[in-house]
């Protein structure tokens, strides 16, 4: 089945957007929806880190996507693709996770430091999945992009690094040494001297450390109890060097409640203090069940959710560059899905401390596609730009009422909400993002701010008549956002949300 048919049939794992049998298109006639924003009801501060990214040494993500090399004809800064740096600055990228994913639990960080021409070549974790004809760098890691280059990349884009440690095949001692390499003060340790020799005298001050990845599977095939023991061993008495360390525990496989409960019970076997070393539990599947189980042992919810991989994952066959494993071409449909997902995170600031879209470039729900000197922003990348103003704002309760969408799902009638979104307050500015998931039906909504009047509005809309539309190296602007000032009448706003659209409205309050 071709990818397009696959999507149309609604088989894509996490998505519920294939309303293939919706009713015929309707003309915009009258207000049929309402959005009421209660600016006095704060839900909490939206952590900028929920707008994070994920870069794994997999396929074309690092080699080609991020790293082109200093001698490349592709414009670069110290070997890093310049266009990518420019785009990521625009979206205010707060945090980037690296080097995996599954790759992390096969990676020896020492291979990626020291003089570039002395670094070893290693078999990439993903080499068996690479098809013949894939670039050698995808199968055999040349280690030209290691800790120094990654941290430098983060610095160039203004993001914090989030490093994932190898729990499956390296020791706790090696983890400790990686922290020492990154964070020990200038001149204090042999590893700090090695860092300085590479040009990085000052410590990297890395705060976020993932302790393994998917430790129930590729990250070691542990039971939750075995993993809890490893977690305690890896995180006990790691030197801080004055830097707060936030350890992220590997979370469950989808809805495996036993993992979450088993891990936390084993952690508590030594008393409550190891619980305090957990900043968050990584979820690669967003459901509330894990949050409730976490609350059983941690009623104050000091431990947060870290959704450090999210996004749709389709069958292979739509990659733009042959040999880019797990590359797919994000469409408007993926942008709609991404908007919905970010809105969910915005609406739950008390739960979600960080999230990382899988993955940044040339893989899965990419924000960008790149090959050699070609580059384009995908519809998902545009959504990140449109949602960036939410970062650090006060999420406020927002109520949406809109006609429900009825559709046929595998022969049975099903329903889906008509409009959803999120809002955040930033002094006198209110940022409202709204998704209309219906393929054919526009929605016209009255937007009301409780206890305030609207002075001015600038609106940005991402849409296209074809929900499968996407950008390519040749047609970079096929799906691109349109921005304009919107008319306000008597302090209120009525706005039409086109079918299959993501909208961002910045409202200045009187």
What residues are labeled active site? 214, 309
Q: What residues numbered 68-127 form the site for ligand AHR, per CB under 6 A?
A: 100-102
The yes or no reply on residue 266 touching ligand AHR (CB under 6 A) is no
| Least distance from ligand AHR to the Cβ atom of residue 214, Å | 5
Q: Which is nearer to ligand AHR, 251 or 459 (CB)?
A: 251
Residue 42: how many other CB atoms lie within 10 Å? 15
The binder of ligand AHR chosen from 358, 380, 385, 457 (CB under 6 A): 358
The yes or no reply on residue 166 touching ligand AHR (CB under 6 A) is no
Q: What residues numbered 23-62 form the site for ligand AHR, per CB under 6 A?
A: 56
The DSSP annotation for 188-236 comes to TSHHHHHHHHTT--S-----EEEE-SSTTTTTT---HHHHHHHHHHHHT
R_g (Cα) of the chain, nearest Å: 23
| Least distance from ligand AHR to the Cβ atom of residue 359, Å | 6
Q: Which is nearer to ligand AHR, 361 or 488 (CB)?
A: 361
Q: Which is nearer to ligand AHR, 84 or 283 (CB)?
A: 283
Q: What is the DSSP letter of 72?
A: -
Q: Which is nearer to ligand AHR, 137 or 461 (CB)?
A: 137
The yes or no reply on residue 481 touching ligand AHR (CB under 6 A) is no
Q: How far apart are CA 129 and CA 126, in angstroms?
A: 6
Nearest alpha carbon to residue 331 among 2, 102, 7: 7
The yes or no reply on residue 324 touching ligand AHR (CB under 6 A) is no
Q: Which is nearer to ligand AHR, 53 or 110 (CB)?
A: 53
The yes or no reply on residue 214 touching ligand AHR (CB under 6 A) is yes
Element (H, E) at 2: none
| Least distance from ligand AHR to the Cβ atom of residue 364, Å | 6
| Least distance from ligand AHR to the Cβ atom of residue 311, Å | 8
The yes or no reply on residue 213 touching ligand AHR (CB under 6 A) is yes
Tokens of 179: 């922290």
CB-neighbour burial class of residue 397 (10 A; exposed 0-12, middle 13-18, buried 19+): middle
The yes or no reply on residue 309 touching ligand AHR (CB under 6 A) is yes
Q: How far apart are CA 66 and CA 374, in angstroms?
A: 12
| Least distance from ligand AHR to the Cβ atom of residue 358, Å | 4
**Dihedral sign (CA 394, 418, 460, 486):** negative
Q: Which spans in 223-287 are helix H?
A: 224-235, 257-268, 273-276
| Least distance from ligand AHR to the Cβ atom of residue 396, Å | 33
Q: Which is nearer to ligand AHR, 177 or 290 (CB)?
A: 290
Asked whether 355 and 345 are in contact (CB, 8 A), the reply is yes
Residues binding ligand AHR (CB under 6 A): 56, 100-102, 213-214, 309, 358-359, 364
């Amino acid at each position: 089945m071709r990818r397009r048919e696959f999507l149309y049939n609604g088989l894509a794992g996490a998505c519920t957007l294939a309303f293939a049998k919706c009713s015929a298109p309707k003309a915009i006639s009258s207000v049929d929806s309402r959005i009421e924003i209660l600016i006095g009801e704060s839900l909490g501060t939206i952590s900028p880190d929920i707008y994070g990214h994920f870069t794994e040494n997999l396929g074309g993500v690092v080699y080609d996507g991020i790293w082109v090399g200093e001698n490349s004809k592709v414009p670069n800064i110290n070997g890093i693709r310049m266009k990518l740096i420019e785009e990521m600055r625009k979206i205010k990228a707060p945090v980037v996770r690296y080097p995996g994913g599954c790759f992390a639990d096969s990676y020896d960080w020492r291979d990626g430091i020291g003089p570039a021409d002395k670094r070893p070549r290693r078999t990439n974790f993903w080499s068996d999945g690479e098809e013949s004809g894939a670039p050698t760098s995808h199968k055999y890691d040349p280690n030209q992009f290691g800790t120094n280059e990654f941290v430098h990349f983060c610095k160039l884009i203004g993001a914090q690094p989030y490093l994932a440690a190898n729990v499956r095949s390296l020791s706790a001692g090696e983890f400790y040494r990686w922290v020492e390499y990154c964070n020990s003060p200038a001149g204090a340790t042999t590893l700090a001297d090695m860092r300085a020799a590479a040009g990085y005298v000052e410590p990297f001050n890395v705060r976020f450390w993932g302790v393994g990845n998917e430790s129930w599977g590729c990250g070691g095939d542990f039971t939750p109890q075995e993993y809890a023991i490893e977690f305690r061993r890896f995180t006990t008495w790691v030197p801080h060097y004055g830097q707060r360390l936030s350890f992220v525990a590997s979370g469950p496989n989808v809805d495996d409640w036993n993992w979450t409960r088993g891990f936390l019970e084993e952690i508590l076997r030594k008393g409550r203090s190891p619980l305090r070393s957990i900043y968050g539990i990584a979820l690669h599947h967003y459901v509330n069940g894990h949050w409730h189980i976490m609350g059983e042992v941690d009623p104050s919810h000091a431990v947060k959710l870290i959704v450090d991989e999210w996004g749709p994952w389709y069958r292979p066959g739509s990659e733009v560059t042959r040999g880019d494993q797990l590359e797919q071409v994000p469409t408007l449909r993926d942008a709609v899905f991404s908007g919905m997902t970010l809105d969910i995170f915005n609406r739950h600031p008390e739960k979600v401390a960080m999230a990382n879209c899988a993955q940044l470039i040339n893989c899965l729900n990419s924000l960008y596609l790149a090959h050699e000197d070609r580059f384009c922003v995908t519809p998902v990348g545009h959504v990140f730009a449109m949602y960036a103003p939410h970062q650090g704002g006060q999420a406020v309760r927002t109520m949406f009422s809109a006609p429900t969408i009825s559709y046929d799902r595998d022969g049975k009638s099903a329903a889906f909400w008509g409009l959803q979104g999120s809002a955040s307050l930033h002094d006198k500015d209110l940022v409202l993002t709204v998704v209309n998931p219906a393929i054919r039906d526009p929605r016209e909504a009255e937007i009301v701010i409780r206890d305030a009047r609207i002075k001015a509005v600038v609106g940005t809309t991402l849409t296209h008549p074809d929900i499968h539309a996407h950008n390519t190296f040749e047609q970079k602007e096929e799906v691109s956002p349109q921005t304009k000032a919107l008319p306000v009448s008597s302090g209120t706003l009525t706005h039409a949300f086109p079918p299959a659209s993501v909208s961002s409205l910045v409202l200045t309050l009187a």
